[in-house]
């Protein structure tokens, strides 16, 4: 939920550090100047439109073209390759998609 409590009825998440969302930006000395590509595991993206690791992307498209499916595949591939936690934040109708996404990941075994 919006205050960081799990809603999956699996109990609290242990061993995490809670931080405020407003943090000072890292200094330029701490940041890497080396450009790296995020290997998504989706061949057409990795070849034709590679994403910068640690960067931001915009995903635009009309209704029904597969934006949510692409997000699901990205989360799935990154989770399998690197582990960790995935966060899907949705507003309005996207909250329904977030719930569907959560249940699909449980069914497919993505943790």
| DSSP sequence for 60-93 | ---TTSSHHHHHHHHHHHHHHHH-S-------TT
Task: Give the angle subtended at the CA of 59 by the CAs of 71 and 97, to the nearest 5°.
Answer: 40
**Per residue in 82-96, pLDDT tens?**
777 777 666 666 677
Please give the positions annotated as active site: 67, 93-94
**Secondary structure (H, E, C), 53-67:** CCCCCCCCCCCCCCH
Q: What phi-psi label fits residue 54: left (phi over 0), alpha (psi between -120 and 50 degrees) or beta?
A: left
**Per residue in 16-73, pLDDT tens?**
787 887 888 888 888 777 888 888 889 998 999 898 887 777 778 888 898 878 888 8
Angstrom distance (rounded) from CA 70 to CA 40:
10
Backbone angles phi, psi at 20, to 5 degrees: -70, 150
- pLDDT over 80 (residue 76): yes
Which is more confidently placed, 75 or 89? Answer: 75
In this structure, are residues 57 and 68 in contact, taking their beta carbons and an 8 Å threshold? no
In this structure, are residues 38 and 50 in contact, taking their beta carbons and an 8 Å threshold? yes
- pLDDT value of position 47: 93
Which is more confidently placed, 107 or 111? Answer: 107
- pLDDT value of position 39: 87
- pLDDT value of position 13: 78
- pLDDT value of position 91: 65
Domain positions in the chain = 28-108
């Amino acid at each position: 939920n919006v205050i960081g409590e799990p809603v999956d009825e699996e109990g609290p998440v242990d061993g995490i550090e809670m931080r405020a969302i407003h943090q000072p930006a890292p200094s330029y000395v701490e940041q890497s100047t080396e450009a790296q590509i995020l290997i998504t595991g989706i061949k057409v993206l990795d070849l034709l439109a590679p994403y910068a690791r640690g960067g931001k992307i915009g995903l635009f498209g009309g209704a029904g073209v597969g934006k949510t499916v692409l997000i699901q595949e990205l989360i799935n591939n990154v989770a399998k390759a690197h582990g960790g936690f995935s966060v899907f934040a949705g507003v309005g109708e996207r909250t329904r998609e977030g719930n569907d996404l959560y249940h699909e990941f449980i069914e497919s075994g993505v943790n």
